[in-house]
A and B are shown apart, each in its own frame.
Chain A
Amino acid sequence: MSDKLKEIISQQNERQNVVLSQLDDIVQLVGFVIGDEEYAVPILSIQEIIKPFEWTRVPQVPKYVLGVFNLRGSVIPLIDLRAKFGIQTKKHTDETRFIVMRHGDDVAGFVIDRLTMAIRIKKDKIGPAPDTVNGDDTLIDGVGKQDHGIITILKVDKLLERDF
């Protein structure tokens, strides 16, 4: 009896360990589209996703910094990722969203064309950024391979870094 019990318990433990190790191997991302490309950032770096609203222009900044907006009492910079990635800007649509990302104390809102979905992807499916864009300055953390194509994973800390 007790042997059986032990067996069951050990089996359960094994299963749990497998689940845990699987969890360890999986990265959760949020995917979004800018221009024709799909990008993603880790879900934990996203503070919230909101519909576009009014912002205030700030002078003497690069074009991709649209300005600042009020997020429940905090003044937060707003960055247009289309402009930042050198894609022709377009007007906001119903699908446009502001993604508010946080890394440490740095917070900023990013304008994206549309959200796709939350993605679970195995770590071994994520390759390094292509050699051509390697280096410290790249915004690309890696490239995730999925069934229907590839997805570019961005470095949140680099996105939130001031580069002007």
Chain B
Amino acid sequence: MDEFQEILQDFLVESFELIEQLDQDLVELENRPDDLELLNGIFRVAHTVKGASSFLNFDVLTHLTHHMEDVLNKARHGDLRITPDVMDVVLESIDLMKALLHTIRDTSSDGGIEVGACVVKLDKISSGELDDESSLADMPLEEEIEDEIEEVEDALVEETQEPDYENMADDEIEAEIERLLNQRQNEDKAKRAAKIAAGESVPEAPPAPSEEEPKPKPKPAPTPVPVTPAPKAAVRKNDDDEDSDARAASPAKRAPAAVEQTIRVDVKRLDHLMNLIGELVLAKNRLIKINDDVEERYEGEEFLEELNQVVSIVSLVTTDLQIAVMKTRMLPVGKVFNKFPRMIRDLTRELNKKIELEISGEDTELDKSIVEEIGDPLVHIIRNSCDHGIEMPSVRIAAGKDETGIIGLKAYNEGNQIVIQIDDDGKGLDVEMLKQKSIEKGIITEKEADAMSDKEAFALIFKPGFSTAASVTNVSGRGVGMDVVKTNIEKLNGIIDIESEIGVGTSMKLKIPLTLAIIQALLVGVQEEYYAIPLASVLETVRISKDEIYTVEGRSVMRLREDILSLVHIGDIFEVERILDGSEHAYVVVLGLGAQKLGLIVDTLVGQEEIVIKSLGDYLKGIDGIAGATIRGDGGVTLIVDVVALMDMAKNVKSTVTSSNSEASQLLKEKSKASDYKVMVVDDSKTDRTIMRKSLESLGITLIEATDGQEALNILKQGDHNFDAMLIDIEMPRMDGYTLASEIKKYNRYKNLPLIAVTSRTGKSDRMRGVESGMIEYITKPYSADYLSSVVQRNINFKSEFLS
């Protein structure tokens, strides 16, 4: 059973690989029906699948592929012309074959799919056409070929070859057979090597090859048959050579090279490798941070240079390694593009339009996970272009355009982004019509419509429920597709840019980051918290003064050059407790997403950093506005902002940029009784604390005690109390007064907290250190109770009416 499973796996992998190329080949074939090489390739696929599936007892699949093979074989021999109608049936059968293979993959059996109808059609083609055009082929020969396909013996092969020799020039045939044999042998060799590489042990291999071996041998035989007229064969061969670079359809050239240069690796291994690299990048960031710290502390030391060198080498190698591993995960985007020629072909027939697809840049590489994700959005966009973009042939002619519409599908790199561009030369987007439809469907109001720029109006097509189609067709018009496009692309941190001109065409650009796992981010701070914003969405940062912020209809806005930019404070979105920091300035991070713009107000800009995206896990997934988390150089966790969600959230946030500040500060200042005032006393000596308590007792204020700097800091961090001042001793265990003061000043919310040193140190340098660390008063022990009381009163703005 295990052995069977293994063979089945091999079979599936091989079949899916074969089919991938098939769609394109078939469409190509329709344009060039006499391309023998193409026909042979397609025939081979059907044949290989048939052979393997009969061995594996997939009767339905065998039945289907057998009849496909019949038709293709006729075509190969020139007995059958590939007309669009024939092609329709062939394509249908290929679709069925795919469906069957999928079923086999999922259930290990090929039941449940009805192939009868398709087989009948295939039969009709092979028999019906044969009657009409039997003139070309000798009947006996035909029979022999038929037999062959039913798995012939070697003896029969020789028989079939005999008459051929008579009809052909000897050297021609010799060469042809030689070539085909070589090709076949190479392919077999390649296949076997690949199987061994894929981990199939040699002793297990025999069952498959031994079954396959008889088949490759009869194979070369049928191929010479169609080349019966010698001169024609020569011409075709030349054609093939010329075409080979364009089509790259010659497996003989491809197969050996593939074996030498590639190795099949489980994606899981690559994912694991990528995770490890992620960890390494984090460690590198940390190393750089430590290096900076060490540099500061041991300036001028000799070992520093060495350390510097090591750090830069590690950092360089890590970056290279990261790129290298990223590259191993890259796939050419052509893998996705391949399916579009077929799709366009089907659509043109369905819509009765004439459309040509021009693909370029299919070698551009993208991360595997992204390649998998962009397929669906592209399908929607291209369907949309066909249905809504390109006009009917008659309309096009009337408009003076070529009857055939052209859709361009282009991929290229731009910085560390990849751009996929879809152009059509259709009728273009009509801004007024878009607005009108949106108003009708209640997506926007008339007022909003008036204020919209063209770009914003184009973006309307991505709104759920929006559709310009007058009627729902098979192809589009349900108003779902483009919404899916937007969601999918944004999930990849990508953006969509639309340009369009009425009557000329539409151009859509999908800009997608090369990889998902590691991104560049801008780190911003709000109070004591930090957030990372993907740099791809940051347009610019500006520093503004608070009075440049205006309030319009309850929303904060600012003037950015010619435009009005609506603003939102990051603290309002992430529920950060904000205490007025008194700063007159604010930083605005201008976020851009397609046509949308938003100013995000933050307290500080920390800088740009390369971050590794980590998920928050199942427990915390789906939090609005948070895309994930990253681990910083200091080991702390920083949350990554989801710019898309943030833009939506910003719409529902009331302006608090100016108002809440004053409210908050008022709340702080509102004191209704003496005990509302809170002062922390930090001293390691119990006696000293008692003296201070006694001295301040008469004021009736609340006193909180801490025995050293560390404890005091913890109490502050806890945030249970709003202190109006702190009395701090200098000499303390664990953390002294100076350190405590400078630690406290690191926090925005305590920037204006009065710190009063109470100490027996009287030296001038001590006082200076006190001032440097942020103490605003300096009381030397011993002091009088009245003096301490008056200093405290002054610093906490004690209201005189509370004095009893």
List the interface of chain A (C-beta within 8 A of B). Answer: 54-61, 65, 67-70, 73-77, 91, 105-108, 160, 162
Contact = CB atoms under 8 A, between A and B. Distances in A.
Contacts of A59: 573-576, 623, 625-626
B624 A162 contact: no
A61 to B, nearest CB: 7
B631 interface: yes
B568 interface: no
Nearest to A163: B619
Contacts of A108: 617, 619
B637 interface: yes
Contacts of B617: 75-77, 106-108
A70 B619 contact: no
Given A68-B629, A70-B636, A74-B614, A58 B720 contact: no
A60 B718 contact: no
Nearest to A74: B614
Given A59-B625, A77-B620, A70 B573 contact: no
> Which of B279, B626, B637 has the most chain A CB atoms closer than 10 A to its own CB?
B637
Contact of B529 (A56, A107, A162): A56
B637 A56 contact: yes
A54 B636 CA distance: 7
B163 interface: no
A91 B714 contact: yes
Given A56-B529, A59-B626, A75-B614, A65 B636 contact: no
The 4 closest A-B pairs by CB, nearest first: A59-B574, A56-B637, A75-B629, A77-B619
Given A60-B575, A75-B617, A70 B635 contact: yes
Contacts of A57: 529
Contacts of A91: 714-715, 718, 720
B619 to A, nearest CB: 5
A132 to B, nearest CB: 28
A55 B639 CA distance: 11
Contacts of B636: 54, 56, 70
Nearest to B621: A162
Contacts of B631: 70, 73, 75
Nearest to B636: A54
Nearest to A76: B617
B282 interface: yes
Given A74-B614, A75-B631, A58 B625 contact: no
B615 A58 contact: no
A60 B576 CA distance: 10
B616 interface: yes
B619 A106 contact: yes
B801 interface: no
Contacts of B635: 70
A73 B279 contact: yes
Nearest to A105: B618
26 contacts: A55-B637, A58-B626, A61-B620, A61-B623, A65-B620, A68-B620, A68-B629, A68-B639, A69-B637, A70-B631, A70-B635, A73-B631, A74-B614, A75-B617, A75-B629, A77-B617, A77-B619, A91-B720, A105-B618, A106-B617, A106-B619, A107-B617, A108-B617, A108-B619, A160-B619, A162-B618
Interface string B729-743: 000000000000000
A77 to B, nearest CB: 5
A69 B637 CA distance: 6
A95 B718 CA distance: 17
A159 B639 CA distance: 24
Nearest to B614: A75
A58 B641 CA distance: 11
B417 interface: no
B613 to A, nearest CB: 10
B624 A106 contact: no
Contacts of A105: 618
A58 B718 CA distance: 16
Contacts of A76: 617
A75 B623 contact: no
Nearest to B575: A59
B624 A58 contact: no
Given A65-B620, A68-B616, A91-B714, 7 more contacts: A58-B616, A59-B576, A60-B623, A67-B637, A75-B637, A91-B720, A106-B618
Contacts of A68: 616, 620, 629, 637, 639
A76 B615 CA distance: 9
> Which of A57, A73, A75 has the most chain B CB atoms closer than 10 A to its own CB?
A75
A40 B574 CA distance: 35
Nearest to A54: B636
A57 B629 CA distance: 11
A58 B628 CA distance: 10
B77 to A, nearest CB: 58
A70 B620 contact: no
A74 B291 CA distance: 24
Nearest to A104: B618
A16 B289 CA distance: 58
B604 interface: no
B638 interface: yes
A67 B615 CA distance: 14
Contacts of B629: 56, 68, 75
A105 to B, nearest CB: 7
A55 B635 CA distance: 10
Contact of A70 (B616, B637, B720): B637
A23 B616 CA distance: 38
A48 B261 CA distance: 46
> Which of A65, A69, A73, A162 has the most chain B CB atoms closer than 10 A to its own CB?
A73
Contact of A56 (B573, B614, B625, B639): B639
Nearest to B720: A91
Contacts of B574: 59-60
B620 A58 contact: yes
A91 B713 CA distance: 12
Contacts of A65: 620
B709 to A, nearest CB: 16
A57 B529 CA distance: 8
> Which of B576, B617, B631, B635 has the most chain A CB atoms closer than 10 A to its own CB?
B617
Contacts of A58: 616, 620, 623, 626, 639
Contacts of A106: 617-619
A56 B623 contact: no
B309 to A, nearest CB: 27
Given A57-B529, A58-B626, A91-B720, A77 B639 contact: no
B282 A73 contact: yes
Contacts of B620: 58, 61, 65, 68, 77, 162
B624 A60 contact: yes
A114 B47 CA distance: 71
Interface string B190-225: 000000000000000000000000000000000000
